[in-house]
């Protein structure tokens, strides 16, 4: 990686200070590979105080998108993800990887079910799509705090629609992000944003919307973005001042499980303990959610490997079946040829086929060594002795009989032929 020609890290970056990195463009191998390398460069080499990921993507590959999700989600440095323009499909998954999620008031979020272009109807393909869908659904449930039914409805979309589009306000209304995580637009870019939003509502494709937002993102100052996120993160709710009477104080003491004569110092200490316990619980819940997401990712990896193994087994079985069919045909051919040549009888054909299925090479060699009827007949016919006997019309047995008769009756007796 050429650190002097970074494509995704924008602005200055140094240890101990926030850094900004952009994921702009489709979720494809080349884009994901470059982004992941630069993100890990920030994480391992620069080590900023936090990493802000600005996203403007129409989505793309589930597999490549999950690799970027894992890189961001497992980062030990605090991460914040902001939708700069559009986060659609796998772009929304990458956005979901941040510890905190933000949208500009003009941003668009799009969520839908995964699909495979030109997919066949075979069971392996259907199973792969379902595994991806379940993995993505789990991420949305964990990151947004929504129920499985809510997420499923969002991914399915309304009738005749592919998933669901959200403006920033609609995302707040749906419970995807809190209202405080919507970044207000500067007046200087408001007019441009209005034009882009108008084109988007007229049915612009995700790629076109992303390209339109890219020009707007170039006008947004990284320093101002960092400052706004810091303000949101550090913003404290105003405290209401009021007087407390003795009755109210005693009720609070009772609710805290303290003695009736507890002092304000004891109450404050108890409240401090509860607040500390609340923070610890929140930290444990966040850790639990992250572990669940990582566990789900591992389950998906195992499921994917099982799917690949099933596919490989199916292909191997096809090869074995073809090989067995070819062997069967060859055995039939060799045995049929032996029958035709008179080497074996037709009644013995099945026995020879069974022997060939156990040891084809031996059977083939055996049949090859047996002389056929035609060959044997030719040998007999070409034998000089047999030819002479044929001319004399007398077999060897007849000659022997003639010799015996001659001994008894003399040479003038001739054995007649019938």
Question: Dihedral of the CA atoms 173, 174, 178, 183 (nearest 10)?
Answer: -70
Quick one: 218 and 110 in the same domain?
yes
Decide if 48 contacts 12 (C-beta within 8 A): no
Out of 21-30, 118-127, 202-211, pick the least confident: 202-211
* Residue 230 covered by a domain: yes
* Residue 291 covered by a domain: no
Q: Which of 206, 234, 262 is the last residue of a domain?
A: 234
* Residue 106 covered by a domain: yes
**What average pLDDT does range 386-405 have in this prediction?**
56
How many independent structural domains does the chain possess?
A: 2
CA gap 380, 271 in Å, rounded: 118
Please say if the pLDDT value at position 106 is more than 70: yes
* Residue 281 covered by a domain: no
HEC string of the chain equals CCCCCCCCEECCCCCCCCEEEEEECCECHHHHHHHHHHHHHHHHHHCCCEEEEEEEECCECHHHHHHHHHHHHCCCCEEEEEEEEEEECHHHHHHCCCCEEEEECCCEEEECCCCCCCCCCCHHHHHHHHHHHHHHHHHHHHHHCCCHHHHHHHHHECCCCCEEEEEHHHHHHCCCCCHHHEECCCHHHHHHHHHHHHHHHCCCCHHHHHHHHHHHHCCCCHHHHHHHHHHHHHCCCCCCCCCCCHHHHHHHHHHCCCCCCCCHHHHHHHHHHHHHHHHHHHHHHHHHHHHHHHHHHHHHHHHHHHHHHHHHHHHHHHHHHHHHHHHHHHHHHHHHHHHHCCCCCHHHHHHHHHHHHHCHHHHHHHHHHCCCHHHHHHHHHHCHHHHHHHHHCCCHHHHHHHHHHHHHHCCCCCCCCC
Out of 120-134, 198-212, 305-319, 363-377, pick the least confident: 198-212
Decide if 59 contacts 24 (C-beta within 8 A): no
Whole-model pTM: value is: 0.53
Quick one: 49 and 156 in the same domain?
yes
Spatial CA neighbour of 146 closest among 115, 183, 173, 107: 173
pLDDT one-digit tens code per residue, 139-189? 999 999 899 999 999 999 887 777 899 999 999 999 999 999 999 877 656
pLDDT band at 292 (very low <50, low <70, confident <90, very high): confident
Looking up tokens 């101990």 gives 16
Quick one: 362 and 215 in the same domain?
no
Q: Which of 234, 266, 298 is the last residue of a domain?
A: 234
Highest mean pLDDT, choosing among 22-31, 115-124, 258-267: 22-31
Quick one: 214 and 324 in the same domain?
no
Quick one: 125 and 227 in the same domain?
yes
pLDDT band at 415 (very low <50, low <70, confident <90, very high): very low
* 206-231 exposure pattern, b = at least 16 Cβ within 10 A, e = fewer: beebbbbbbebbeebebeebbebbee
**What CATH number should be reported for the domain holding residue 194?**
3.90.226.10
What is the model's pLDDT at position 16?
A: 94
Quick one: 25 and 158 in the same domain?
yes
Tokens of 301: 């990896």
* Residue 410 covered by a domain: no
Domain range enclosing 339: 316-369
pLDDT band at 389 (very low <50, low <70, confident <90, very high): low
């Amino acid at each position: 990686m050429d650190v002097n020609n970074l494509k995704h890290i924008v602005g200055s970056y140094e240890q101990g200070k926030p850094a900004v990195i952009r994921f702009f463009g489709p979720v494809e191998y080349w884009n994901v590979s470059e982004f992941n390398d630069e993100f890990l460069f920030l994480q391992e080499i620069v080590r900023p105080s936090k990493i802000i990921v600005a996203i403007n993507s129409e989505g793309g590959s589930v597999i490549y998108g999950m690799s970027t999700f894992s890189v961001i989600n497992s980062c030990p440095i605090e991460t914040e993800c902001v939708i700069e323009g559009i986060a659609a499909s796998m772009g929304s998954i990458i956005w979901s990887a941040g510890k905190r999620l933000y949208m500009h008031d003009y941003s668009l979020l799009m969520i839908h079910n995964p699909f495979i272009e030109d997919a066949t109807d075979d069971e392996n393909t259907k199973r792969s799509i379902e595994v991806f869908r379940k993995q993505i659904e789990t991420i949305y449930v964990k990151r947004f705090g929504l129920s499985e039914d809510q997420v499923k409805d969002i991914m399915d979309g309304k009738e005749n629609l592919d998933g669901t589009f959200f403006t920033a306000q609609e995302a707040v209304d749906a419970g995807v992000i809190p209202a405080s995580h919507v970044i207000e637009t500067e007046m200087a870019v408001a007019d441009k944003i209005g034009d882009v939003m108008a084109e988007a509502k007229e049915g612009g494709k995700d790629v076109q919307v992303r390209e339109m937002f890219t020009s707007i993102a170039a006008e947004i100052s990284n320093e101002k973005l960092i400052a706004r996120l810091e303000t949101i993160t550090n913003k404290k709710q105003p405290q209401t001042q009021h007087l407390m009477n003795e009755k109210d104080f005693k009720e609070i003491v009772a609710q805290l499980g303290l003695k009736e004569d507890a002092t304000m110092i004891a109450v404050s200490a108890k409240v401090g303990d509860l607040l500390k316990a609340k923070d610890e619980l929140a930290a444990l819940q966040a850790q639990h959610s992250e572990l669940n997401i990582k566990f789900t990712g591992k389950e998906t990896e195992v499921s994917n490997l099982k799917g690949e193994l099933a596919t490989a087994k199916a292909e191997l079985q096809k090869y074995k079946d073809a090989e067995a069919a070819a062997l069967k045909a060859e055995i039939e051919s060799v045995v049929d040829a032996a029958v035709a040549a008179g080497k074996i009888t037709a009644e013995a054909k099945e026995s020879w086929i069974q022997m060939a299925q156990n040891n084809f090479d031996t059977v083939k060699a055996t049949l090859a060594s047996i002389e056929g009827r035609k060959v044997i007949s030719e040998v007999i016919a070409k034998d000089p002795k047999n030819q002479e006997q044929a001319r004399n019309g007398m077999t060897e047995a007849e000659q022997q009989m003639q010799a015996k008769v001659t001994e008894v009756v003399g040479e003038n007796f001739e054995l007649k032929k019938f």
